[in-house]
């Protein structure tokens, strides 16, 4: 099994951005200059500025949970306010909230993913491994 590259062994010195700044700007968690994302939500293979390999990135389902809870709360609240105050037909809700849900969710996913990747990098977090033991238990 190939050893995973972890951020904890990184010895390069850069002015590290805060996780919030790295997440909002979608920048490299190490140098804050290169782009973290190659597309809309897919992480790049490496930083174009500091050449850090992004192979350690594994944000899992964490960002999606925050986005579902936060955007769901906001949109549901706004839809309730509009319904109670104006009682519009259902198509108005669909026209208002469908693009808002899609747009806000993609934006929030990108920001949350950037924040969680920066936190993962700064904490040196990686997938759990069973510690090697000198004694064979069998």
Instruction: Give the footprint of Zn ion on this chain (CB under 5 A).
Output: 28, 30-31, 34, 47, 49-50
Q: How far is the CB of 46 from Zn ion (least distance, A)?
A: 8
At closest approach, how far in Å is the CB of 37 from Zn ion? 13
Closer CB to Zn ion, 52 or 109, in the complex: 52
Please tell me the distance from the alpha carbon of residue 51 to that of residue 129, in angstroms, as a whole number: 26
What's the closest the beta carbon of residue 33 comes to Zn ion, in angstroms?
Answer: 6
Residue with tokens 């964490």: 62
Specify the residue for token string 């925050």.
Answer: 66
C-alpha–C-alpha distance, residues 18 and 35, integer Å:
15
Nearer to Zn ion by C-beta: 26 or 62? 26
- Name the token pair of 116: 């969680």
CA neighbours closer than 13 Å in the CB half-sphere of residue 119 = 11
Residue 53 pairs in a beta bridge with 46
What three-state secondary structure class fits 29?
A: coil
**Which C-beta is closer to Zn ion: that of 23 or that of 67?**
23
Least spacing, CB of residue 113 vs Zn ion, in Å: 16
Residue nearer to Zn ion on the CB measure, 34 or 108? 34
């Amino acid at each position: 099994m190939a050893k995973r590259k972890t951020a904890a062994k990184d010895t390069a010195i850069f002015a590290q951005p805060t996780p919030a700044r790295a997440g909002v700007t979608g920048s490299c968690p190490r140098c804050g200059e290169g782009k973290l994302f190659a597309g809309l939500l897919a992480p790049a293979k490496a930083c174009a500025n500091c050449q850090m390999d992004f192979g350690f990135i594994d944000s899992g389902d964490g960002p999606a949970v925050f986005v579902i809870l936060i955007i769901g709360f906001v949109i549901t609240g706004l839809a309730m306010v509009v319904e109670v105050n104006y009682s519009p037909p259902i198509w108005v809700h669909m026209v208002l909230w469908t693009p808002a849900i899609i747009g806000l969710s993609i934006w929030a996913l990108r920001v949350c993913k950037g924040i969680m990747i920066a936190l993962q990098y700064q904490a040196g977090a990686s997938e759990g491994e069973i510690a090697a033991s000198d004694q064979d238990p069998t």
